[in-house]
Amino acid sequence: MERFIITGFSDEIDEEVRKQFTWLNKLGISWFEPRGIDGKNISDLNDEEVLALKAVMEEYGISVSSIGSPIGKIGIRDDFEEHLQKLERTIKTAKMLGTKYIRMFSFYIPKGEAYESFTQEVIRRMKAMVALAAENDIILLHENEKGIYGDVASRCLELLEAVDSPNLQAVFDPANFVQCGQDTKEAYELLKPYIVYMHIKDALPDGSVVPAGYGVGNVEWILKQLYVCGYTGFLSLEPHLGSFKGLENLELDDHMLELDGSTPEKFALAHKSLMEIIRRIEG
């Protein structure tokens, strides 16, 4: 496990952080990607709450791989200055918790309107956010996501090249690409110079999320390519095999809300599926 470091969105185990960490310990996972912390989003925690979280992390021997923030997950016409303040708060949290990474997005585009109409404004906002991150030695990780500007690989690449900064890199999420009708092998080939972090989530052609290796996201193929290329970094479990507290604030469509609740067992299933893939890759 030296090459691939397992982490994950443990709020899909339970809303309570101690229960999250108890299960991570059981699974032998020493890292997590904080998003939902005892019912609050990680980007909304104040200093006192962050220090309290850090104390619990130390108690359970857990470290932060990346902040699973909602930065950039607002409409392109929504107030940006206020959102930039949220990024400032999130950067402070990242530094307090000892991670250089913050996951982020590239703004929701109004339904029915041309993406190209918003290109310059998206780039302007991305550059402003990356400049703030660079001042603090933080790396923003852009995640491909349905409904945002960077939903398909070509627009992800467009943003990465336009910003052109070591402080903006890519999170690769296979399931999200599947849900956008994007071939994941093609996406990998386009984005591989920028991929420094993986979200482990797979999907069927209809967009339904399934454990890694059970969908058409080519998860094993992608991880094999990364392994051959010498990738050393995080694989973050984001099972999405059931709804969880706070999901309603993170997803645009309500399909996920209709699923049964997330459980530790579903997270364990996602972990088992990933480990089987890794064992095959490492031989």
- Homologous superfamily of 4-282 in CATH? Divalent-metal-dependent TIM barrel enzymes (3.20.20.150)
Of 68 and 254, the structure prediction assigns the larger pLDDT to 68
The percent of the chain in helix, strand and coil, each rounded to the nearest 5, is 45, 15, 35
Task: State the DSSP H helix or E strand holding residue 190, giving kind and residue range, or none if neither.
Answer: helix 184-191
75 pLDDT higher than 70: yes
CA-nearest of 222, 71, 242, 204 to 145 is 71
Place of tokens 């470091």: 5
> 10: burial class by Cβ within 10 Å (0-12, 13-18, 19+)?
buried
pLDDT tens-digit series, residues 157-208: 999 999 999 999 999 999 999 999 999 999 999 999 999 999 999 998 999 8
- Domain spans of the chain? 4-282
pLDDT tens-digit series, residues 202-244: 998 999 888 899 899 999 999 999 999 999 999 999 987 644 3
Q: CA-to-CA distance for 63 and 57, rounded, in angstroms?
A: 7
In the sheet where 4-8 sits, what is the strand order? 4-8, 233-237, 195-200, 168-172, 139-143, 101-104
Q: CA-to-CA distance for 35 and 6, rounded, in angstroms?
A: 16
Inter-residue contact 104 to 141 (CB < 8 Å): yes
pLDDT score at 262: 56
250 pLDDT higher than 90: no
> 196: burial class by Cβ within 10 Å (0-12, 13-18, 19+)?
middle
> Which of the four pLDDT bands, split at 50, 70 and 90, describes residue 261?
low
Supply the mean pLDDT for the chain. 92
pLDDT score at 265: 83
At 132 the three-state DSSP class reads: helix
> Which of the four pLDDT bands, split at 50, 70 and 90, describes residue 85?
very high
246 pLDDT higher than 50: no
Sign, CA dihedral 29-35-40-46, equals positive
Of 271 and 283, the structure prediction assigns the larger pLDDT to 271
Average pLDDT in the 16-35 region? 97
Q: CA-to-CA distance for 82 and 127, rounded, in angstroms?
A: 16
Of 243 and 274, the structure prediction assigns the larger pLDDT to 274
